[in-house]
Structure 1
Amino acid sequence: MGEHETTSKAMVIMELQSRVDSNFRIKVEAFVLKTITAPLPTCKIDPSSWIELEGLVLADPEYHTPSHIDMLLGVGIYNQILLEGIKRSPEGELLAQATSLGWILSGQITMTAQSAHKIKVLHCCSNDNDLLKRFWELEAEPEIKKEKMFTDEEKRCEEIFNKTTTRDDEGRYIVRLPLKNDPPQVDGSKEISERRFYTLENKFNKNKNLKDKYTEVMKEYIDLNHMELVQKEHLDNPLAIYLPHHAVIREDKDTTKVRVVYDASCKGKNNMSLNDNLLIGPTLQPELRHLVMRWRIPPICLTADIGKMYRQVKISDLDVDFQRIIWRDNVETEMKHYRMLRVTFGTASAPYLAVKALQQLALDEGDSYPMAAKRVLTDYYMDDLLTGCQTKEEGLRIFHEMNELLSKGGFELMKWTSNCEELVESMKGEKGKGDVQEGLKIKSDETLKIVGLTWDRSEDSFRYAVNLPKLEQPVTKRKIISDISRFYDPLGWVGPSIIKSKVIIQRLWLAGIEWDEAVPKSILDEWLAYREELKLLETINIPRWVHTNADDSVELHGFCDASNSAYAAVIYIRVIDSSGAINVSLLTAKTKVAPVKQVSIPRLELCGAVLLSRLILETARVLGIEKRNIRAWTDSTVVLAWINNHPSRWKVFVANRVSEIQSNLDSHNWSHISSKENAADAASRGLSPQELVKNSIWFNGPDFLRNSTINYEKPKEVTTNLEKVKSHCAVVGDGIWERFSSLTRMKRVIAYCKRFINNLSSEPNKRKRGYLTTQELTEAQNVCIKQYQAIHFKEEILLVKQKSNLPKGSKLRSLNPVMDADEILRVGGRLELSGLSRNQKHPILIPKKCHLTNLIIADAHKNTLHGGPQLMICYIQVKYWILGAKQSVRSYFRKCLTCAKNSPNTQTQLMGQLPAARVTPIRPFKCSGVDYAGPIQIRTAKGRGHKSHKGYICLFVCMATKAIHLEVVTDLSSQGFLQAFKRFVSRRGHCSDLWSDNATNFTGAANELKRLFLTENGSMLQEVAESVANNDCNWHFIPARSPNFGGLWEAGVKSVKYHLKRVIGQSTLTFEEMSTVLAQVEACLNSRPLSVIRGDSDDIMVLTPGHFLVGEPIVTPPDQNYESHTVSSLRRWQFTQRMLQDFWKKWSQEYLTKFLHRYKWSSVQPQPKVGDVVLVKEDGLPPCRWLYGRVIETHPGKDNLVRVITLKTKNGTFKRPISKVCLLPIATE
């Protein structure tokens, strides 16, 4: 369809019946396709302003709504359904045609900018290995969240909620779905939901327990009126959206182990889902890390969660049909349709709507419950409440206020508990709270799962849970990373051990193995030992309370450190109570793997300081601690020196990071600490689980923090110089090697230099003299190869020497490189067992782009006697393996002057603009082109024994309308042409401009014809041109040997010959007979359509050149006589002028627009420049005999592109089109 192709695998015969005329039936044959076209129209149309359609029975009443096309009728069927009757809009843009199927619409409409679709493209990195690299890239340092700014979509979502949310009589909130487009479009969702439900029923047949629990959940929905049955009269709602549903089983849940999830992301036939049409909304709840840190501050903590939080918020009746489902509890019963009346789990906006409703409740009812309202806004993470208080009485008040506040909005709090046993008992004793009592039946030693963390209520401490699956063989990269991804440590409490797993991930990436490939033994042994110890982490207890009270002094102390493996930051809270007792607790930490590319230790220490400055500033904001109570520690004197000076003193890497550190913390907040006391040292180096359990400094902080006074002195001596690493290396400048113009010369020069050096240290009688041996030349060549390999394959050589795997991104990885005895890198390959020579089995690796590569290729080209790229590659690969050899060899081959002369390529350029005479409405033949065709034989008389002589056809073609005028001429004299020209202008009118070529391309014409049009300065042509000029006609010439510039008359000559060959064959005609035949040929050619014939029954007129000459095609059947008819209110002359204007309008709209396309020469090519050396193409001569020429002048067109050039050769100076020259690669040589 259009520019697309598709394959049909079936054909059917259908009978169509009209819905407006039951008597009309028609059988059609149709191909079955997967899809015909995209939904049409492309956007929704406003039909309210089209009053012309009122009262018409349309074939498609929903024409203004985008819909799928189910059937496409061909032109043959279209003609059979047409009826009489056409209606047009006043502007003529819209047309309604009566058919047996109803009125159909066509035409063009002008859409406003409001109807345009807005498309935003987000490019996400989906390569798994690239995502792994973000673990250690410096540019991907952990970001600390700052104050959130809403996006435009989030603002719109907030606006919808604020404008549309209401409350029912019970106070429960009623919300609208925040739709991007109202109503949303999800085609075919009902059929998809039915298929998915049948699959679910098959699972029920295999698992009766799952079916029973699933049925209980759905029955609960119905009993609680959280979903209702759709009545039969509402079943056929075309806007309804059906959501498939399935079970999610959570064995770790205390309450609902089977949760029904509704798949609102299921896409319909239009590739859209309900979630695609929903605004997600902003994240309203606090970050989990911040919530847990605040929860550790009060001595008494309370937790609870909201029962069925989502389902306590109602959905407006306007949107419930967008949440339909299919359900039945028995396969033998009829399928039932329900609609969800509450916020539904699985919809994109559900978290936002539930949290927003809860927070709105605090704003609406908060004045009566101030203590509870404040905590609703800050202490909820979705449905989990984590709050605290100083006293039992305050906790009981929070309990009362929170229950009463949430009940105002229809929410119910469950599973209340606390670390204070007295408070728990008081809550249990509350009268009239039976449901609460059920939720409070908690054992004293029970551990709870709260926001993903394990909390021991009796000890009031956190524990680390390790849940790894059973080890399966073989151990692959995928399985290791899957196990590591199960670690949940949001606050970094076991960071020293987790960083070990991150380092293993980095090593897996460096090994370059595939995801399901067994890992190397060295990594496997380390992973198994580490995995075996992970269970020890479950013995770690992190106290929840950090011993803070209302009147205590609180300080934050952060430590940072770095090693070759990682860098880290850790923060401790130091609390001094009113009696002077000091308590230090681990608060939070972050770790980061060091990058693969080696970075100096001081710079990694600086990255650790950046990480600490971000983390400690974030923590201070969350806990409300002032900057004067913050202290940052590092054991790097270099980092302290950087921080204590202005960033402008340092290089970019250091300056950028110092600037950020100073914007987060003042320099006086930083202090020096010894490495032994640095708590972050454990996280930067990494500890095994067994070592971490025994590491007291990590969990309790350094001992000096428990002293009553701390020494904050700066180090005595601070240096800003990085450690200097001395190494010996040999660097060879490319300039030395580029002095050699051939491989042979380079080898010989180096061989002589080596011989000279060796002879200096040898005894006179042992010195080498005479010609260079093969061994000396080979050694010299090896020197060159090793130097270039050392420059271009530095990292690969190091890894090969260490017998390590190359990284996956290495260009040599697939070649499995090896090092030979001469320390030259060669291809490893798979041909070791073959009988080939050593060089063929293990060719020498050569870089893609270097001077040595060029010399090797030049040597191969010379030795293969200027062979082609394929031969050169075969010759090279006997000894060398050049990376990207094809590209390099082809590039050199194209630059070879000898090869270019023998295989020349002519030039092209972007197809130029049409001349003004061809695109401007003008009287026919006012601007014309002329050409000759022939010779032809003309009889002198009829009958036998006649004599014949040569004749010619003079063709005139109109530049604007392509109309053709043909004249017979008896010779090639100037007088013969002038007589033809006079006959032409006498019948066709004055010609103001005449174009012709220089006739050098008339290879089949007579020599006399060449003499007529040979050059602009020819005597005959001058005589003709002078006579034409006297008639106010300008003669124009196209460049010599450029038939593409005169395509219009060349096509005319071709068409004339086409008809003549078929009409007269080998016959010889008299002058009168030939004139008659040419007049008939002219009539046929002037009746050709100028544009593509369309299938519109209302526009059956096809524009031809004849319309501009006589008002209709010249070759056409006779029409009805209209002379007896009167033309109302218009004189016939006015009617004729109007008809002519219609022809020109049709000419502009249909004929001209087809020239918008460039079917060849569609791109701009490099242009020849003055001074370029070219070969001048001569037809009939081999390239080796073509003349050399130099470009002395270019002739750019109006678009500044050069298509004609002036050349200077040994035979003189002349113009040529660029299609007749071949540029030689001399400038590049």
Structure 2
Amino acid sequence: MENDGTRKEDNTITEDEKSAIRILESTINHTGERYEIGLPWKLPANLQNNYFSALNQLNSLNKQLNNDPKLSDMYQQTLVIDLEKNYVKPVEMADPPPEKIWYLPYHPVQSANKPNKVRRVANAASKFKGESLNSNLLTGPDLLKSLIGILVRFREKPIAILADIEGMFMQIGIRNEDQSALRFLWSIDNDVRQLQFTRFIFGATCSPSCAIFVLNRCAEDNVETYPKAQSAIKSYFYMDDYIQSFESPENANATAFDVKNCLRAGGFGLTKFLSNHQQALQCITPEDLEEPKSETRVLGQKWNLEKDTFFMKSLGEFPKEAEQYTQRKLFSLVSSIFDPIGFLGPMTIRSLNKTSNEVQTVFVIGKCKVAPVKQLSVPKLELEASVTATVFNLIYRAKKQRDNHHQHTVEDIELSKSYLIQMSQVNSFPTVIELLKSNHELDPKFKHRSLNPMLDKNDLNTNTFLNAYRRFTSRKCQPADLYSDNGKTFVGAKEELKSCLNDLDKDKIHKALAAQNTKWHFNPPYGPHFGGAWERLIQSVKRTLLIILGSRKFTFDVFHTIMVEAEAMMNSRPLTNVSDAMENEETLTPNHFLLQRPYNSLPPCIFPSTKPANMKSWKNVQQFLNHIWRRLAREYLPTLIKQPKWTENAGNSLKVNDVVWILKDSTPRGIWPLGRVEEVFPGRDGNNRVVKVKTAHGTFVRPVSGLARVFAD
């Protein structure tokens, strides 16, 4: 829980953070009363004397205070308190200016909840000639503990203790040579005085890191005297707030005693102790106890001590009259709801206790995310995909009772991606999905209607594949060998088919049926190149269909017709010629093996070359198929042409007696005209440009660019 995804790990520490740590390590010192440390400067520091700029800001502030005497009195009192506590000291105007000097502008800050209290706040980011105090200081490493982690651990055990360090930053001294960079101007009796801080201030960019560094060092230096303090200080402090839970009041007392006295040795005062158990703070003196109360805040969360529960402000506490809300008030109301643990997030909890009828659930943490305003970076998107794949993979393997200790694969990521897309669509378009399932028309007002939404019913599984296989063998023949990739569908089908065949053998079905058992060959997973021959053909057909069909919507009848015709086109391609005489037009094709005869299709009709506007009529379907044929021929032709080296000419690969396919745009669908090369004619450069080809209809001279060698002599 310590790392909630927003914290940097130690191995990502920057060079600036390393420099800051070196400065803190080399300058920290215990004076006998408290710790003292140097400011972590960037090198070289570039601070210029901004006295007159600070004086102008002081004059503006005085005008504001003169108009509000009550605010002026409270503001003056803050300096009196700081002088009494030695947080600041006067500086004589006649003193020579040191090497580093900077004047901090100050202003009063009041809280609406505490109108009678004012704080004096320094603006360490105020610039003079492009430089500020903060721009010259190293921020230091982020040593702050996770707020969510501390809150979750606070809820872990029944007895809780709260406390905070009084003026944490002001309890840490600054070495003398750095104090001059924390000067400020003050008006006393119309006279301008110079003062400078001797302690760390709120508003300096390095103060949080330096304070936690000193706090941790205090725990380490006193670990032998106060052994329980080290773990508590390093793990249960969120800046100056101490928050820890315990199993027993005895352990709570012992730890609270060690923590308080350990910090006291470092100059820190731990006060305002509060607990939900009366016996947990017996070791704490009354002046360090918070006034008893039934409710308080824990890191911004409301906590009921009596019930030991967190709670949120009820909606009944907000004004119900709509006219009382402006846009600004509404935004203020929303931003006032602080819920780091996720109590208000929607959630569904499913729990099952198999050993009894009792069901027990415990809420630990919830997280809701909205779409980011800024686009996520690629590394973050990859991380989310990895995490999602891991989660779904664990769920899947838990259901299948499989080993969960393995790295997720590409298949896991794709499965997770498909699942998330499906869930997103179900949540976003429930009505549309129901209408599509029932084959009803979509509402004309549906803004995505023009995209022709349809349900993806690609639910191929072992059963549907086996049915497809049975249809194939019923139309074609029973193959002796079947080659496929290593998809889970096919692997599962092999096991079921094997089981079915075994069952048939047990029932003593005729031996002739058993003799037709198909031998199944699987390529290695993710190795489509092992199926080079058929993968090349599949790629040609898929590319052609994607280009020609595009995003058009078809009925099952039309799409089925297209697929069957495309299958016939590819299976009518020539494999080898039967005889050497070109007068014999018949060549061996895949259909000779599948159908035990050549492919005899209906003669294709002649249609205009434009693509059909719709797919409803038979003529339009045929016209569309003609486009597919021409495109398919252009896709398949390059796969037949042997690719020579770049120094060779493609025409030189054709030789006398080679059988070639003659490609023309006017070639009817399903016709593969063949010829035999009788003579080659080299060009002036010596490369073959033209050949004489003998066909069943005569002898012709053709350029080599329109020929593809099907097989050589």
Residues 400/204 of structure 1: CA separation in 2 closer, same or farther (3 Å cut): same
Deviation at 1:580, TM superposition (A): 13
Which residue of 32, 36, 40 corresponds with 1:178? 40
Q: C-alpha separation between the residues in 1 aligned to 2:222 and 2:153?
A: 24
C-alpha distance in 2, partners of 1:421/1:487? 31
Q: Is the 8 A contact 1:609 1:634 kept in 2?
A: no
Matched residue, 2:245: 388
Could you tell me how far 1:414 is from its partner in structure 2?
0.9
Residue from 120, 125, 133 that aligns with 1:265:
125
How far the C-alpha of 1:435 sits from its partner, in A, is 2.9
Inter-CA distance 144–348: structure 2 relative to 1 (3 Å threshold): closer
Q: Which residue of 2 aligns with 1:654?
A: 414
For 1:399, the equivalent position in structure 2 comes to: 256
d(CA) in 2 for partners of 1:251 and 1:268? Answer: 32
Which position in structure 1 is the counterpart of 2:287? 435
User: Is residue 457 from structure 1 mapped to residue 234 from structure 2 by the alignment?
Assistant: no
Query: 1:417 Cα shift?
Result: 0.8
Query: Paired residue for 2:185?
Result: 326
C-alpha separation in 2, matches of 1:401 and 1:754: 86
* Alignment match, 2:31: 168
> Residue 23 of structure 2 aligns to a residue in which SS?
helix
The alignment partner of 1:387 has SS state of: strand
| 1:151 partnered with 2:14 | yes
Give 1:276's aligned residue: 135
Partner deviation per Cα, 1:753-788 (whole Å, 9 max, x = no partner):
89999xx99xxxxxxxxxxxxxxxxxxxxxxxxxxx
SS of alignment partner, residue 368 of structure 2: strand
Residue of 299, 304, 307 corresponding to 2:163: 304
- Which residue of 1 is the match for residue 482 of structure 2? none
CA distance in structure 2 between the aligned counterparts of 1:203 and 1:272, rounded to whole angstroms: 26
Whichever of the two has the greater Rg, that structure is: 1
The residue identity in structure 2 corresponding to 1:593 is V
- In structure 2, what is the Cα distance between the partners aligned to 1:645 and 1:366? 42
Shift of 1:203: 2.4
Aligned amino acid, residue 104 of structure 2: L
State the shift of 1:592 in Å: 2.4
Note if 1:487 corresponds to 2:247. no
Q: Taking structure 1 as reference, are residues 316 and 611 closer, same or farther at Cα in structure 2, changes over 3 Å only?
A: farther
Q: In structure 1, how many angstroms separate the alpha carbons of the residues matched to 2:165 and 2:373?
A: 47
* 1:349 lines up with 2:206 in the alignment: yes
Contact kept? 1:571, 1:587, Cα under 8 Å = no
Distance 1:157 1:305 in 2: 26
Corresponding residue for 1:376? Answer: 233
Shift in Å, 1:299 = 1.7
In the alignment, the residues of structure 2 paired with residue 253 and residue 474 of structure 1 have an alpha-carbon distance, to the nearest angstrom, of: 24
Q: Corresponding residue for 2:499? A: none
The CA distance in 2 between the partners of 1:642 and 1:479, in whole Å, is 54
Q: Which digits, 9 at most, give the CA deviation of each residue in 1:1008-1042, with x for residues without a partner?
A: xxxxxxxxxxxxxxxxxxxxxxxxxxxxxxxxxxx
Q: Distance in 1 between matches of 2:103 and 2:269?
A: 29
Using a 3 Å threshold, how does the CA distance of structure 1 residues 236 and 451 change in structure 2: closer, same or farther? same
Asked if structure 2 preserves the Cα contact closer than 8 Å seen for 1:575 and 1:584, the reply is no
Contact 2:100–2:178 (8 Å) recurs in 1: no
Give the superposition deviation at 1:571. Answer: 11
Q: Which region of structure 1 is more displaced relative to structure 2, 227-236 or 641-650? A: 641-650
Q: Residue 364 of structure 2 aligns to a residue in which SS?
A: strand
Distance 1:648 1:595, change over 3 A: same
2:267 partner letter? G
* Cα pair 2:162 2:241 within 8 Å, conserved: yes
Match of 1:153, SS state, is helix
- Cα distance between partner residues in 1 of 2:350 and 2:89: 53
Of 391-400 and 146-155, more deviation after overlay is shown by 146-155
2:191 aligned counterpart, secondary structure: coil
CA distance in 1, matches of 2:198, 2:372: 52
2:363 aligned counterpart, secondary structure: strand
Measure how far apart 1:282 and its partner are: 0.7
Whole-Å Cα distance in 1 between the matches of residues 174 and 21 of structure 2?
A: 16
Query: Residue 210 and residue 591 in structure 1: after superposition, are their counterparts in 2 closer, same or farther (change >3 A)?
Result: same
- Which residue number corresponds to residue 250 of structure 1? 111
Identify the residue that residue 154 of structure 2 maps to in structure 1: 295
**Aligned positions of 1:545-694 closer than 5 A:** 583-593=360-370, 610=387, 647-650=408-411, 654=414
Counterpart residue number, 1:964: none
Structure 2 residues without counterparts, runs of 5 or longer: 375-380, 431-461, 465-486, 490-549, 555-607, 619-713
Distance 1:755 1:609 in 2: 45
Distance in 2 (CA, whole Å) between partners of 1:729 and 1:320 is 77
1:392–1:475 Cα change, 3 Å: closer
1:494 to partner: Cα distance: 1.1
Q: Does structure 2 retain, via aligned residues, the 8 Å contact 1:468–1:486?
A: no
Aligned partner of residue 265 in structure 1, secondary structure: coil
> Whole-Å Cα distance in 2 between the matches of residues 641 and 596 of structure 1?
40
- Contact 2:174–2:200 at 8 Å: present in 1 too? yes
Letter in 1 for 2:15: D
Secondary structure of the 2:140 match is: coil
Q: Secondary structure at the match of 2:164?
A: strand
CA contact (8 A) 2:397 2:404 kept: no
Name the residue aligned to 1:746. Answer: none
The answer to whether the Cα contact below 8 Å between 2:101 and 2:181 also exists between their aligned partners in 1 is yes
Identical columns (%):
26
Match of 1:1000 in 2: none
Q: CA deviation at 1:253?
A: 6.8
Give the aligned partner of residue 198 of structure 1: 59
Give the CA deviation at 1:640: 11
1:413 corresponds to: 270
- Tell me the distance in 1 between the aligned counterparts of 2:183 and 2:149: 38
What is the distance in 2 between the residues matched to 1:648 and 1:394? 48
Letter in 2 for 1:306: I
Query: Aligned equivalents of 1:607 and 1:284: distance in 2?
Result: 26
Q: Please give the alpha-carbon distance, in whole angstroms, between the structure 2 residues aligned to 1:493 and 1:717.
A: 45
CA distance in 1, matches of 2:198, 2:111: 25
Distance 1:195 1:397, change over 3 A: same
In 2, Cα distance between the equivalents of 1:315 and 1:296?
A: 37
What is the match of residue 129 of structure 1?
A: none
Q: SS state of the match for residue 242, structure 1?
A: coil
Instruction: State whether residues 607 and 657 of structure 1, in contact with CA within 8 Å, keep that contact through their aligned partners in structure 2.
Output: no
Q: Distance in 2 between matches of 1:642 and 1:191?
A: 72
Aligned residue for 2:296?
448
Give 3-state SS (helix, strand or coil) of 1:215's partner. Answer: helix
Q: 1:468 to 1:359 in 2, by over 3 A?
A: farther
Unaligned runs of 5+ in 1: 1-141, 498-558, 560-569, 598-603, 617-630, 662-674, 676-680, 686-715, 731-750, 762-1229
What code does the residue aligned with 1:166 have?
N
Q: Which amino acid aligns with 2:222?
A: E
Q: Deviations over 1:926-979 (max 9, x none)?
A: xxxxxxxxxxxxxxxxxxxxxxxxxxxxxxxxxxxxxxxxxxxxxxxxxxxxxx
Equivalences for residues 797-836 of structure 1 within 5 A: none
